[in-house]
Structure 1
Amino acid sequence: MDAIHLEDLAFYAFHGLYDEEARLGQRFHVDLTCWLDLGPASRSDDYGHTVDYGAITSAIERVVTTSRFRLIERLAGAIAEATFAVDGRIERVRVRVHKPGAPLPIAAGRVSVEIERDRA
């Protein structure tokens, strides 16, 4: 299966369990892989045979910046759902949400969640 990758998309949003996260917000980074058949596009050089990367990016931005989730696991799920809604040719997605400012009880570290979903 062929894939399109969107990596290190950065957004400022207000997700998290704690009141401070809802009030102050923080940066989130999203990596997305979409699996679909890119054979027609690779043979034709026709824009209509591929997925609009800008439309996918805009859908992710809407989810990340206009919703509020307590868990980045739910945020990742909502991104997957929005991505499937962009184009019916997308068969599978992998979403990784990075939360660089996650409240950890140590001086340094990173948190991310990754999910994979197939079109139902």
Structure 2
Amino acid sequence: MDKIYLNKLAFYGYHGLFPEENKLGQRFYVDLVLELDLKKAGMTDEMTESIDYGHVYQVTKHVVEGTAKNLVESVGEDIAQQLFASFQNLKACSVKVTKPDPPIPGHYESVAIEIYRERP
């Protein structure tokens, strides 16, 4: 399957288990891999045969900057479901949500989840 990559989309959200996360918020990064057939897009040079990257960004932003969730797993699942609802030609997607500054003691770069979903 052909793929579109959107890398390190940056947002500010209020997701987390701790009250200070819900109050203060923090940065989140999202990486997406969208799977669909891109042959017609390549042959016709028509946007209608592909997926509008700007629209993908807006859909993702709406989820990440929207209603606060306890878990980044829920954020990732919501992104995948909204992408399927928005883009009928999307066959599958990989969604990685990175939380660079979680309130966890220790030394690390970030924590992240990644999910893979296929159109039901």
- Normalising by the smaller structure, the TM-score range is over 0.9
**Matches of 1:63 and 1:114, distance apart in 2:** 16
Give the alignment of 1:33-72 within 5 angstroms. Answer: 33-72=33-72
Q: What amino acid is aligned across from residue 12 of structure 1 in structure 2?
A: Y
**Matches of 1:115 and 1:105, distance apart in 2:** 25
Cα deviation, residue 80, structure 1: 0.4
Cα deviation, residue 107, structure 1: 3.2
**Matches of 1:38 and 1:116, distance apart in 2:** 19
Cα deviation, residue 47, structure 1: 1.6
Matched with 1:27 is: 27
Give the alignment of 1:1-120 within 5 angstroms. Answer: 1-120=1-120
Cα deviation, residue 15, structure 1: 0.2
**Matches of 2:71 and 2:32, distance apart in 1:** 18
Q: How many residues align?
A: 120
Unaligned stretches of 5+ residues in structure 1: none
**Matches of 1:109 and 1:9, distance apart in 2:** 17
**Matches of 2:83 and 2:114, distance apart in 1:** 15
| TM-score, length of structure 1 as denominator length | 0.96
| TM-score, length of structure 2 as denominator length | 0.96
After TM superposition, the runs of 4+ consecutive aligned structure 1 residues lying more than 4 A away are none
Cα deviation, residue 87, structure 1: 0.9
1:59-95: CA deviations, max 9, x gaps?
0000111111000001000000011111110000000
Unaligned stretches of 5+ residues in structure 2: none
**Matches of 1:68 and 1:22, distance apart in 2:** 7
Q: What amino acid is aligned across from residue 70 of structure 1 in structure 2?
A: N
Q: What amino acid is aligned across from residue 84 of structure 1 in structure 2?
A: F
